[in-house]
Chains A and B, each alone.
Chain A
Amino acid sequence: MKRIIIIGLFFLVAAWNAAAQPGDSIPKTRSHYTLAIGTGWSHYFANMDIVPARNVQKEFIGTSFRFMWEPEYRLSLGLETGFYRIFRVDSALTSEYTMDARMYMVPLLLVIRMRIVDNFYLSLAPGIAVQFSQIKGIGETISSTQYSFANFEACASYLYPLNKRFVIGGEARFLYIGKTNDYIMSLNAVFGVKL
């Protein structure tokens, strides 16, 4: 039933959105490329079944890089990557064994961004990710790499132009990693340059 309602809503909104667009009051800009780097706080939503959330370190510093093509329309396209520490679990398993497990991620996302009002943007970004994990304890240290092919990011950005070339601002993003069912959010300070 839930799926039927969702599919119905999808067609309703799609039909609504298919109507002709009203006049756009936002001044258009010329097509250009931008490169932006962001860094800031990231938070992991601990959802492990076998480790209590209190034993999971969730707060880290994350970094993102975005390359965007911004035509003279509301929508812009680009690529995003970055580096995030997802979690760290450091706990005693038994009186004999301890564990230190860490996971990192480098996403590669296709960004679809829309200017909502002046300087304020919303973006959605599906893509892939490489996940690195390191396990110490109970024998040798294990480092492994895996790929996640179903990831999704939603991001809200405020970008204030300092002049015709540079922008600064902030971003709030929510990132879902399909392979391991992990969620993180981040608040980044952003610095961008028009190329």
Chain B
Amino acid sequence: MGIMRNCLLTLFCIALLMAGCNKSKEVSIPSPGPNSLFTETYPLPEASRKVMDGIYNVTAGNELFGDQVVLKWSRKKLTVMCSDGHYLVLDVGQLDSVIMIQGYWRYCYNDNTGIASAYIARDEGGKDIIEANPHPGQIIIRGGYGSKGNEINNPLQFVYLRPISPSVLNKKFSLLAHRSGGRTSDHLPVSENSIAMINFTEGLGSTGIEIDVQLTSDGVPVLYHDADLNIRLTQKGPVSGPINDFNYLQLFYLVRLIHGEHIPRLKDALYFVVDSTLLTDVYLDMKEKVPSIKEVIPIQKEILQRAKEKGRDLNIYIGLPSQDAINDFMSQPDYQKIPSLCELSVDDVVRTNSMVWAPRWTEGTQDALVAQIHGQGRLAWTWTLDDVDWIKEFINNGQFDGILTNYPFIAGYYHYIREN
């Protein structure tokens, strides 16, 4: 009996340990499938999309989405931003005079997700949207959402309340998404620090991105966060160890990010930003194990020149997170003309002539220092702010010009819902 008990205990301990080693579960984005009516719709013109932007009352679905939501179009998706971390990413098309809407909802703090589908009838705003009437009489979005598979079993209804205030829209406020648009650990369908994430992030409401820059052994700046190749960020493969040990071709052929993407070169990522997105700000977070400012500057210059040629409003800032980085930066020729972002003191911002001061959020709203920075014609951003209450506090009572967050849809909600 004693032997059996000890064996059982041993086996149990092994099982417990192995169970604790399971990889976290995947969250797959629900899809309505190929039989959806949506495949027969036509894309909505740009002018029509703007009509849909606004503040809506939630008259069905409050239990999930709260009492008010913000609807805001990005390059190709309609994002519904809620006050507590719920959000919807939606495709919109028109069929006759009806606006068809479908997509999914997510809650950012856990794995909850489900499908969503809705429509706007012709006489409930569909006609105004299609005709791009800037002052729609009413818009009522009717539909439903589900929480399991493809079933839609809960009613959803949003009623247009007002447009987003022009003073808010005209104000330069950056919604910067972390790690090129979102973290792998938040169970997004694409990997952090990938071109696929840059393509995805505008659907989350972001207007800018922060990306992590590291240098390969042959001097190529690439996007990657951790110091080493590991199974948290990459698929299991034959290569592991410090990322700076490997050359770019080795990373290209031997490593895949967690959702199968290649580790991108900084140059490729920035070309994608300027050519294929509407993002306006890029914050280069320079990882310092191997200094890379010297290699990054010509890339920054090349991309900014391309943006200028295309008439794109794009800012790319080299991040300066430490005195070592500042020293490295100030050793470069004409450093004062290079767009940079300093995370240290206001004096360091002046010394480096950084366009942006970016203190961490735990230092508070620092109104006096932010006012001083504004007085010098510079911008102030804070990082990395993910808590709903603190985001609300910083937006409503702070004077920052941008927030770096993993959840741009929360910051977007509290920014766009302001009345001035």
Does B238 contact A99, Cβ atoms closer than 8 Å? yes
Docked CA distance A13–B47 (Å) = 66
Does B19 contact A89, Cβ atoms closer than 8 Å? no
On chain A, the residues within 8 Å of B16 by CB distance are 6, 10
- Stretch of B1-9, B154-162, B178-186 with 4 or more beta carbons under 8 angstroms from chain A: B1-9
On chain B, the residues within 8 Å of A140 by CB distance are 217, 247
Check: B169 CB closer than 8 A to any chain A CB: no
Check: B368 CB closer than 8 A to any chain A CB: no
- Stretch of B38-46, B119-127, B228-236 with 4 or more beta carbons under 8 angstroms from chain A: B228-236
User: Of B2, B239, B242, B250, which one neighbours A21 at CB under 8 angstroms?
Assistant: B2
User: Of A138, A152, A181, which one neighbours B249 at CB under 8 angstroms?
Assistant: A138
Known interface pairs A89-B238, A145-B241. Does A154 touch B14 (Cβ–Cβ under 8 Å)?
yes
Does B231 contact A138, Cβ atoms closer than 8 Å? no
Q: How far apart are B142's CB and chain A's nearest CB, in angstroms?
A: 36
Docked CA distance A151–B238 (Å) = 19
Q: How far apart are B19's CB and chain A's nearest CB, in angstroms?
A: 6
Check: A69 CB closer than 8 A to any chain B CB: no
User: Of B230, B235, B241, B242, which one neighbours A49 at CB under 8 angstroms?
Assistant: B235
Check: B306 CB closer than 8 A to any chain A CB: no
Q: How far apart are A158's CB and chain B's nearest CB, in angstroms?
A: 15
Check: B324 CB closer than 8 A to any chain A CB: no
On chain A, the residues within 8 Å of B14 by CB distance are 124, 154
Q: What residue in chain B is nearest A87 (Cβ atoms)?
A: B238
Docked CA distance A154–B2 (Å) = 20
- Stretch of A34-42, A159-167, A172-180 with 4 or more beta carbons under 8 angstroms from chain B: A172-180
Which residues of A in the span 113-167 have a Cβ within 8 Å of any Cβ on B?
A: 114, 116-117, 122, 124, 131, 133, 135, 137-140, 142, 144-146, 150, 152, 154
Classify chain B: how many residues form its interface, as a range.
Answer: 35 or more
On chain A, the residues within 8 Å of B290 by CB distance are none
Q: What residue in chain A is nearest B218 (Cβ atoms)?
A: A139
Known interface pairs A142-B250, A154-B14. Does A122 touch B237 (Cβ–Cβ under 8 Å)?
no
On chain B, the residues within 8 Å of A21 by CB distance are 2
On chain A, the residues within 8 Å of B18 by CB distance are 176
| Chain A residues within 8 Å of chain B by Cβ, number | 48
Check: A17 CB closer than 8 A to any chain B CB: yes
On chain B, the residues within 8 Å of A51 by CB distance are 237-238
Check: A93 CB closer than 8 A to any chain B CB: yes
Q: What residue in chain B is nearest A49 (Cβ atoms)?
A: B235
On chain A, the residues within 8 Å of B217 by CB distance are 140, 142
On chain A, the residues within 8 Å of B237 by CB distance are 48-51
Check: A193 CB closer than 8 A to any chain B CB: no
Q: How far apart are B412's CB and chain A's nearest CB, in angstroms?
A: 34
Q: How far apart are B251's CB and chain A's nearest CB, in angstroms?
A: 9
Q: How far apart are B13's CB and chain A's nearest CB, in angstroms?
A: 6
User: Of B5, B19, B21, B242, which one neighbours A16 at CB under 8 angstroms?
Assistant: B5
User: Of B7, B12, B21, B246, which one neighbours A142 at CB under 8 angstroms?
Assistant: B246
Provide a sorted-by-A list of 30 A–B residue pairs whose CB atoms are within 8 angstroms: A10-B12, A13-B8, A17-B5, A21-B2, A47-B236, A48-B236, A50-B254, A50-B256, A93-B254, A97-B249, A97-B253, A101-B254, A103-B240, A116-B7, A122-B6, A124-B10, A124-B13, A124-B14, A133-B238, A135-B239, A135-B250, A137-B250, A138-B254, A139-B249, A142-B245, A146-B241, A152-B17, A176-B18, A178-B21, A180-B230
**What 10 A-B pairs have minimum CB-CB distances, sorted nearest first?**
A144-B241, A101-B238, A49-B235, A89-B238, A50-B237, A139-B247, A138-B249, A49-B236, A144-B245, A93-B253
Residues of A within 8 A of B (CB): 2-3, 6, 9-10, 13, 16-17, 21-22, 47-51, 56, 87, 89, 93-94, 97, 99, 101, 103, 114, 116-117, 122, 124, 131, 133, 135, 137-140, 142, 144-146, 150, 152, 154, 176, 178-181
What would 5 more interface pairs be, CB under 8 Å, given A2-B19, A93-B254, A122-B6?
A10-B12, A101-B239, A122-B10, A138-B254, A178-B21
